[in-house]
Amino acid sequence: MDHFQHRDGVLYAEDVPLPRIAEEVGTPVYVYSRATLERHARVFREALSGLDDPHIAFAVKANPNLAVLKILANEGYGADVVSGGELTRALAAGMKPEDIVFSGVGKTHAELLQGLDEGIGQFNIESEEEGYELAAIARRHGKRAACALRVNPDVDARTHEKISTGKRENKFGVPLDRAAEIYAGLAREDGLDMRGIAVHIGSQLSSLEPLETAFVKVGTLIAELRDKGCAVTHADLGGGLGVPYKAGEQLPAPADYGAMVARVTKGWNVRLMFEPGRVIAGNAGVLLTRVIRSKRSGNGPPFVVVDAAMNDLARPAMYGAWHDFEAVEPTGEKMTAHIVGPICETGDTFAMDRECDALVAGDLAVFRTAGAYGATMASSYNSRGFVAETLVDGDRYAVVADRIAASAIMDAERVPEWLG
Ligand code: LLP
């Protein structure tokens, strides 16, 4: 459930009519709903209520806006970060260092050091090489890093290949059949406190089955490690739960996910950790856009050219992803159209042959489910600026990220004088 609903023929975010934001902030603009974010954070926590003190770290990559992170910090969420930049954001938003987990295959020396200096709660080590490098840095600085070893369980998440992370051929984690040996080796390092196993097999999962298969493998590994005399006190089960992108689409409910986790992890005797991203933020945001013009195309459906483009919302161009598209002030009439942005490549297409509300130049529309992996994946391609972000709270809203003009991006560039 979200708080983007039509009232008297106008789409509102909570109690704010979207035309008001379009007028005052301009388009394209992301609009997030505080009530929806809080609701999703609570529903997910509630789904895990059968577990003993689960640790929930929001996957910052899904939506790193400071105001969004602040809301989740207020909800008691920690952060799953994958770069020094995300770590800095999580701290700036008020997340406690001990509630921060640092994931990612390519943490640099500087980023490992930053994590140690900030006293973060856990490093999710993705390779043997990274583990020994972290051990050396920690030892040199007189510190001990709490770590989980991320395993690659070789499970097909049955999602888009670009967001699948748990197959043997993917770059993530260490192979399951070497995990115990690597863990035991790292556990002998003074600089490391090897305390757990981490797994994350992919994103936008539409079935719980692959997750269950992966978790069962983690359970077996934990038993094997204990048999070898290794301590295991934590298990990080990652994120991945999918959300509906099409009205009426059915996806596993958080409650069913929680029940499956409770069943599979019974008797593990560890603190369970989670890294949800999309399921918290996805349906808590829309991308508000204005139709620039409608363009006839031979005998086919018209091209509706909107002012948002693939640089603002990359998912359709990148993954062929579907986002529901609807008028802010629908007339009740429908049309079939290709929905495209102004960028000069054919990939800048949001939808082909889409049946949607009838729209003409100047009309406002939204792409739904844009609160996760939306603004965060923006670029300035075609010398377009960075899109603005707003947060609605009841009948008020705030701009939580200024639009960055193309000229401001240009200001960071230099032409050496020797070019004449
Ligand atoms: N933990 C780790 C280690 C991850 O790599 C990810 C996402 C998450 C947690 C959060 O997963 P979620 O709960 O959001 O599914 N840009 C793509 C999604 C990439 C996901 C990358 N990793 C998209 O727009 O669909």
ipTM: 0.99
Interior CA angle at 316 toward 310 and 317, to 5°?
55
What count of residues does the chain have? 420
Question: Is 414 assigned to a binding site?
Answer: no
CATH superfamily of 4-31+283-411: Lyase, Ornithine Decarboxylase; Chain A, domain 1 (2.40.37.10)
pLDDT exceeding 70 applies to what percent of the chain? 100
Q: Provide CATH code, domain 34-278.
A: 3.20.20.10
| pTM metric for this prediction | 0.97
Q: Which atom of ligand 1 is nearest to the CA of 103?
A: 3
Whether residue 354 is predicted with pLDDT greater than 90 in this model: the reply is: yes
Domain boundaries, the chain: 4-31+283-411, 34-278
Mean local confidence (pLDDT), 275-299 = 96
Q: What's the pLDDT band for 70 if we cut at 50, 70, 90?
A: very high
Nearest residue CA, atom 24 of ligand 1? 373
Res 300: pLDDT = 93
Q: Per-residue confidence at 157, pLDDT binned at 50, 70, 90?
A: confident
The strand pairing partners of 325, in sequence order, are 367
Distance CA 185, CA 341 (A): 52
Confidence of residue 1 (pLDDT cuts 50, 70, 90): confident
Atom of ligand 1 nearest to the CA of 204: 15
Residues involved in catalysis = 344
Rounded alpha-carbon distances, angstroms, from residue 282 to 4, 51, 89, 154:
13, 25, 19, 27
Which phi and psi (to 5°) does residue 120 adopt?
Answer: -70, 160
Measured from the CB, is residue 179 less than 6 Å from ligand 1?
no
